[in-house]
Amino acid sequence: MCFQEVDRFDDLDYLLQKEGFKGVYQARTGDASDGCAIFWNSKLFDILHEESIEFQNFNLRNNVCQLCVFKMNVKSSSKDMSASNSVSVSSPSFLVGNIHVLYNPNRGDIKLGQVRLFLESAQRLSHEWGDIPVVLAGDLNSMPQSAMYQFLTSNKLDIQMHDRKQISGQIYPLQNRSFNPRLSYRWSNEELMLATGTGASHLIHQLQLRSAYAGAPGSSRTRENSGEPLATSYHSKFMGTVDYIWHTTEFVPVRVLDTLPVDILRRTRGLPSEKWGSDHLSLVCELAFADEGSET
């Protein structure tokens, strides 16, 4: 389980320990009192490696991300043997990443820089541990019609074809803008350096990512044309999708938990509320290894 904006980790950890979960936490830097947390069922998974990124070390504000390598505890019992003589089979490993991207819609350069480092670190760890599969989750503060979403799904992005303030799609409805392939935008050298790390105008990542929700069937009451939920966050100034679960092609989505329909969300008049303690909706996905059929 991946959480963002966790401000009472000890309380959450105490409650989830009772249900058999262990957790790790990374606080945001600066004056913020919250952070990211990853929890796992200790009977089903062993943690092999943990690391995090404090983006302030790269002049990319105070957000953070987490990366954990897990190994599944897989056991199979032979039909000819008793349960006490169960035989352990090969236990697959995989990487889980958790991120909370900067909110500020005007700073697409910083948003891209944070996601770039997140993806680069995930790819590096995947390779170091034997090219293991990857699952990435979090609040990207970017909408499905945005350049950020395009970067994640297509592996590349020509930055100067996009307005820095439009990278996340939060300010103006992108579906009402006509795309002109001949139009280019001015980015300063500093902005390009923050976004790409090299000052180049093109971004590329090496992970073959798929969206879990876009890859699973859903209702037109809760999904948009891309397959993403119509809304994962709702408050007085915003309703839309900014949260995602991504996976590499070694996984396939078996099923997902659909979000609330927009008409029902509107009845709440905004989140959080007395009955719903967050302004975000939970995303839940069941994945299977594509070549083995074992689920996680």
Domains annotated for the chain, with CATH where assigned, are 2-75+86-289 (3.60.10.10)
Per-residue pLDDT, 83: 45
Query: Does pLDDT of 86 surpass 90?
Result: no
Alpha helices in the chain (DSSP H): 9-17, 108-128, 147-154, 189-196, 262-267
Q: Mean pLDDT score of the chain, rounded to an integer?
A: 91
Pull the structure tokens for residue 111: 């948003």
Per-residue pLDDT, 291: 82
Query: Does pLDDT of 178 surpass 50?
Result: no
Average pLDDT of the residues in 136-149: 98
How many other C-beta atoms are found inside a 10 Å radius of the C-beta of residue 183? Answer: 11
Query: Does pLDDT of 176 surpass 90?
Result: no
Tell whether the torsion through CA atoms of 9, 48, 1 and 205 is positive or negative. positive
**Distances, alpha carbon 70 to alpha carbons 31, 66, 115, 124, 295, in Å:** 31, 13, 22, 15, 14
Distant-in-sequence, close-in-space partners of 167: CB < 8 Å, separation ≥ 6: 108, 109, 111, 112, 142, 146, 147, 148
Pull the structure tokens for residue 269: 């008049």
Per-residue pLDDT, 180: 54
Share of the chain above pLDDT 90, in %: 85
Query: Does pLDDT of 30 surpass 50?
Result: yes
Q: Is 106 exposed, middle or buried (CB count within 10 Å of its CB: 0-12, 13-18, 19+)?
A: middle
Query: Does pLDDT of 248 surpass 70?
Result: yes
Per-residue pLDDT, 75: 67
pTM: 0.91
